Amino acid sequence: MPPQNRLTVDEIRRWVGELPLRRGRIYHKQGRLVYLFRDGDTLRAAVRGNAAEPYRVWVRLVDGQIAAAQCTCPVGAGGHCKHTAAVLLAWLHSPENFRPMPKAAEALKDASAEELLALIERMLARHPDLVELLPNTGHHGTGHQGTGHPGTGHHGTGHLGIT
């Protein structure tokens, strides 16, 4: 069930502040939002900023109000930035543009082995720490077991779960 849209501009202003709200309005009007998804009570988006790669934003809503947020921009700790403001303004004005987050199995079911390997390479380039999930990387059985990755079923064993 999607989060209730009880959000107001005042709530967004309280979360991000006046200046990020103003700048977020500009980003929203300029169409800098690359993708918009909702995953239960969480909004997920990418916003083109000044960096080469879009910034990734997530916002958790509880009872339609902002409960937590994060952005990958340099000032995005806690989601108090213009990118988060742009995402929240998009949710406020056009919640129908937020598509349900696709499930990995469904999205990848028709991908070839080459496409899957290329995807994994792109993911590793973006998040090098994921290498510890790969088999045969020297991390298997080296004390990483039991560290766990919440909700993934992976426990630092190096097993990807791909058959």
Q: Is residue 126 part of a domain?
A: yes
The Cα 36–Cα 54 span in angstroms is 13
pLDDT tens by residue, 93-121: 999 999 998 787 877 888 888 988 888 88
Number of domains in the chain: 2
Let me know if residue 4 belongs to a domain: no
Supply the range of the domain harboring residue 135.
Answer: 103-163
- Residue 15: count of CB within 10 angstroms of its CB: 22
Helix runs in 30-154, H state only: 82-93, 104-108, 113-126
Do residue 16 and residue 49 come from a single domain? yes
Q: Which residues of the chain have pLDDT under 70?
A: 1-5, 138-163
pTM as predicted: 0.69
Specify whether 123 is located in the same domain as 86.
Answer: no
Is residue 89 located within the same domain as residue 126?
A: no
Q: Does residue 91 sit in the same domain as residue 109? A: no
- The per-residue pLDDT for 139 is 57
Task: Please indicate, yes or no, if residue 3 is contained in any of the structural domains.
Answer: no
| Judgement on whether residues 77 and 107 belong to the same structural domain of the protein | no
Predicted pLDDT of residue 138: 65
Identify whether residues 94 and 109 lie together within a single domain: no
- Do residue 86 and residue 115 come from a single domain? no
pLDDT score at 155:
38
Does residue 17 sit in the same domain as residue 81? Answer: yes
